[in-house]
Chains A and B, each alone.
Chain A
């Protein structure tokens, strides 16, 4: 008697299609994820139970940390370039198209206007080193460049997007209140009485 042959079926599933789909999705998510600019200041933001998300355009972010250093971040490439042009006009510095392009992709910065050209020319590594030694944007009453930056940024946003600029403060949790107060006073001098503080979401609540 011939033995009945049991057909052996392979139990492994063809994963090819699944693999295709998952990599397609992966590519999509990687591309849509906004690359986060490294923060030159070592900032730990305090947490809160608020629920409103920070908008991602028409916003200026003031980073306060490292014993009174203030850095400023302009959001949006077009706004950055427009702000740079305005600042250049204010301080009689002209920027080349190359410098304007480089500034357009720059994240948070904290340099006095005098060394801005030098800062734009640096590569990423030099910038991090520079940021560690930098004292931030000068904001004392005699040489208030920070106020100028905010003012020109507001003008640029109003001109390009027809929207008011929102100012956000990203402060280090351990920063002393007087430093924050100094920055808020600069804002209030420009009649910015409403602003937001950037906090992280508090877990478990």
Chain B
């Protein structure tokens, strides 16, 4: 198929032995096939892998107060997202809390530790309240939701960006992660 008949039209037979060299007309397709397969691989991988990932978030209804329920202080961990990629977390209630200021790398260990402690003490699942403050970036928010997913915390996290208490603001300012 990829050959052409170019054998010099066999007219001259006598008259000296002028041998025309038969040039090989076969085209080497190796490089072309290589390229084609490379492109195939590329398109195959990009069609299925480039799909972005969706992280489903549910927030409490703003108006419907009936769905709100009280949380037990013993099983609640509040995480505040502050400036400079730092978080502050505390267990229980804000007024008698001893907040810990940590970076995102450290918060996973604390999450797992608190999860275990709550489970041992009360036998209940931990409930995490995430409070992003004005200093936090969008990435911080995505990261903390991701950490909760990694720590396999089964109860739905409560996201609260409205009710940030005064003492919470107070100790965040003291920790230098809020203006």
Contacts of B71 in A (CB 8 A): none
**Smallest CB–CB gap between A38 and chain B, Å?**
14
Residue on A nearest B134 in the bound complex, by CB? A178
Interface members, chain A 3-49 (any B CB < 8 Å)? 12, 14-16, 18-19, 22-23, 25-26, 29-30, 32-34, 36, 45-46, 48-49
Contacts of A177 in B (CB 8 A): 81, 132-138, 140-141, 161
Report the separation of the CA atoms of residues A48 and B139 in the bound assembly, to the nearest whole angstrom: 10
Contacts of A51 in B (CB 8 A): 53
- Cβ of A153 within 8 Å of any chain B Cβ, yes or no, is no
Count how many chain A residues have C-beta atoms less than 8 Å from C-beta atoms of the other chain: 56
Report the separation of the CA atoms of residues A188 and B47 in the bound assembly, to the nearest whole angstrom: 34
Interface bits A165-184 vs B (CB < 8 Å: 1, else 0):
00010111111111111001
Interface SS majority for chain B? mixed
Name the interface size band of chain B. Answer: 35 or more
Given A50-B146, A175-B137, does the pair A22, B57 have CB atoms closer than 8 Å?
Answer: no
Contacts of B49 in A (CB 8 A): 201
Query: Looking at the complex, which one of B53, B134, B140, B150 makes contact with A198 (CB distance below 8 Å)?
Result: B53
Interface bits B1-36 vs A (CB < 8 Å: 1, else 0):
110000000000000000000000010111011001
Residue on A nearest B141 in the bound complex, by CB? A177
* Inter-subunit contact B52/A199 (CB<8 Å): yes
**Smallest CB–CB gap between A18 and chain B, Å?**
5
- Cβ of B62 within 8 Å of any chain A Cβ, yes or no, is yes
Report the separation of the CA atoms of residues A172 and B2 in the bound assembly, to the nearest whole angstrom: 52
- Cβ of A111 within 8 Å of any chain B Cβ, yes or no, is no
Report the separation of the CA atoms of residues A29 and B132 in the bound assembly, to the nearest whole angstrom: 43
Report the separation of the CA atoms of residues A138 and B119 in the bound assembly, to the nearest whole angstrom: 47
* Inter-subunit contact A26/B149 (CB<8 Å): no
Contacts of A180 in B (CB 8 A): 138, 141
Interface bits A49-86 vs B (CB < 8 Å: 1, else 0):
11111111000000010000000000000000000000
Contacts of B134 in A (CB 8 A): 176-178
* Inter-subunit contact A49/B146 (CB<8 Å): yes
Contacts of B139 in A (CB 8 A): 46, 173-174
* Inter-subunit contact B36/A174 (CB<8 Å): no
Q: List 7 A-B contacts (CB under 8 A).
A: A48-B53, A64-B138, A174-B137, A177-B134, A193-B61, A199-B142, A200-B52
